[in-house]
Structure 1
């Protein structure tokens, strides 16, 4: 079977970033067979940007959120593999080559991923390479954190992504993390350490509010109880994952407060920290009840985040 690969770039009110993301797709050492831009109901005229790139296709929809936009791009594509890139992020020139080599070495995989780097609004470096190996059991790895870290580093087997139901449009955040769990339950996942994408951090990212991100990442964790129930080791790892996420976003909250202190955004950051504190207290109670339940041979009911 001939290998083909598509790039789907999702944009919502980010036409100013779109030229750079399109050009990063066009600059691949192994070219994409399709480049599709999905406009999720923007008002900043991404069509005028796409018109400057012959061969790049524009698909428009009413604003329905990131998961729906990705599904629209998935349906519009016909290639055997697919990459999703947010309009404010960038691919490295080796992204397609490195990912397809990894797929070739492990042909039954549902997805492969590589490393990424964070950059600032103008592309300035904000740190070193970010990479975590997936290990021998992807599902267990995901229970204690998101080893992938940046969605644009992923190359999916398109058919396998469709078969697991693609992206859940009911999720306003963490829809990629949800897909990783569902893919890991059905197919192998592999990784490689080559840097294949740049994650642009500009303060307006969807992941900019740690309290909102924590809320949704814990709900994705909750969904895994159907697979961990009855397996004490897996359930311990799932609950450990919740503690890992609380610690991770605690650090993000502290950084947010330090950046915004004595600025116009200070009140917003304080509100975020209060929402975070409510969730964190519930998580401490959940963990204590779990440990008590294990100690006395039963299961205590955990507090709900809903």
Structure 2
């Protein structure tokens, strides 16, 4: 693809981190090629994959292929930033894809208001097991930092288009194993204007290996991310939004964790037990009681 920057068509860098998602990679890249926009560079950062990612990349022309030892998603994105040349940046995971006119739509909003640090839109979830699609959209017209304290209304990072100057001020926090995108949104919206709309931008593939499926990791990461905002909260409204968001996230992920353990889908491992004991101790005690009663019933049925 030709990559010549002009005021009408600034260069768009699409950064695709990939860790053992080689089988999805071609669809992600093709979704960028199919955009109705003439000035794009695609950068794939292979974060130490052990699958066939490198073999697949060798068969994809016109893509900048960067290999690094496994450092995690945040580090892979930061590498992509350093290796990119675009005026605006998009981060697309290898197992997701952009929808039609995604680049044009987001870019039109950035060109409409030159002060925006980023623009974000709606997305659709695609459930691999059931082949179901669900549109996820939320109306947020102002007070974006406050709304983000209440919860991550953006939901999917591929719907976000950033201006390059954002990354002169901020990078992804490589100490976070999850919720690094949420952390970045909070830091940006604390200081700069952004815009959110309800046009669908990207598709989020839901499968068994999604990081978001690790409930314990998501619980600890999102609460750590929110806690980092405590030191910059100023108004009573911000502090209330923080408390509301913290409580909502805690109840949501603890509820998921409790259901997983109750159903037997996840084993009673020490880290999961400690997470429930720390954030919802009564739920953990009830779970132990239920497990104990089930064992008692089974003993009664089979006294041998």
State the TM-score, normalizing by the size of structure 1: 0.83
Q: Distance in 1 between matches of 2:208 and 2:256?
A: 12
User: C-alpha displacement at 1:147, in angstroms?
Assistant: 1.0
- Alignment partner, residue 142 of structure 2: 136
Q: Distance in 2 between matches of 1:273 and 1:63?
A: 25
Q: Distance in 2 between matches of 1:139 and 1:31?
A: 33
Cα shift readout 1:204-260 (whole Å, capped 9, x = no counterpart):
11111112101111111111111115x3222121011111112322443356457xx
2:285 counterpart of 1:267: no
Q: Distance in 1 between matches of 2:24 and 2:129?
A: 10
Say if 2:261 and 2:267, in contact at 8 Å, map to a contact too. no
Compared with structure 1, are the counterparts of its residues 275 and 132 closer, same or farther at alpha carbon in structure 2 (3 Å cutoff)?
A: farther
2:65 counterpart of 1:64: no
User: C-alpha displacement at 1:200, in angstroms?
Assistant: 0.5
Counterpart mapping for 1:25-174 below 5 A: 25-121=32-128, 124-127=131-134, 129-160=135-166, 162-174=167-179
CA-atom RMSD in angstroms = 2.3
User: C-alpha displacement at 1:46, in angstroms?
Assistant: 1.5
Q: Distance in 1 between matches of 2:274 and 2:102?
A: 38
Q: Secondary structure at the match of 2:211?
A: coil
Compared with structure 1, are the counterparts of its residues 272 and 19 closer, same or farther at alpha carbon in structure 2 (3 Å cutoff)?
A: farther
- Alignment partner, residue 295 of structure 1: none
- Alignment partner, residue 197 of structure 2: 192
Q: Secondary structure at the match of 1:163?
A: helix
Compared with structure 1, are the counterparts of its residues 185 and 228 closer, same or farther at alpha carbon in structure 2 (3 Å cutoff)?
A: same
Say if 1:144 and 1:237, in contact at 8 Å, map to a contact too. yes
Hey, which bits of structure 1, 4+ residues long, moved more than 4 A?
270-273
Higher Cα Rg, which structure: 2
Gap regions ≥5 residues in structure 1: 285-306
Cα shift readout 1:30-59 (whole Å, capped 9, x = no counterpart):
245200100001121322212222111101
User: C-alpha displacement at 1:74, in angstroms?
Assistant: 0.6
User: C-alpha displacement at 1:15, in angstroms?
Assistant: 0.7
Cα shift readout 1:154-184 (whole Å, capped 9, x = no counterpart):
0000122x12221111111111111101111
* Residue of 256, 260, 269 corresponding to 1:252: 256
State the TM-score, normalizing by the size of structure 2: 0.84
Q: Distance in 1 between matches of 2:129 and 2:41?
A: 27
Q: Secondary structure at the match of 2:252?
A: helix
- Alignment partner, residue 222 of structure 1: 227
Residue correspondences, number: 276
Q: Distance in 1 between matches of 2:206 and 2:185?
A: 23
Gap regions ≥5 residues in structure 2: 1-5, 284-304
Q: Distance in 1 between matches of 2:260 and 2:125?
A: 17
Q: Secondary structure at the match of 2:54?
A: helix
Q: Secondary structure at the match of 1:118?
A: strand
Compared with structure 1, are the counterparts of its residues 58 and 267 closer, same or farther at alpha carbon in structure 2 (3 Å cutoff)?
A: same
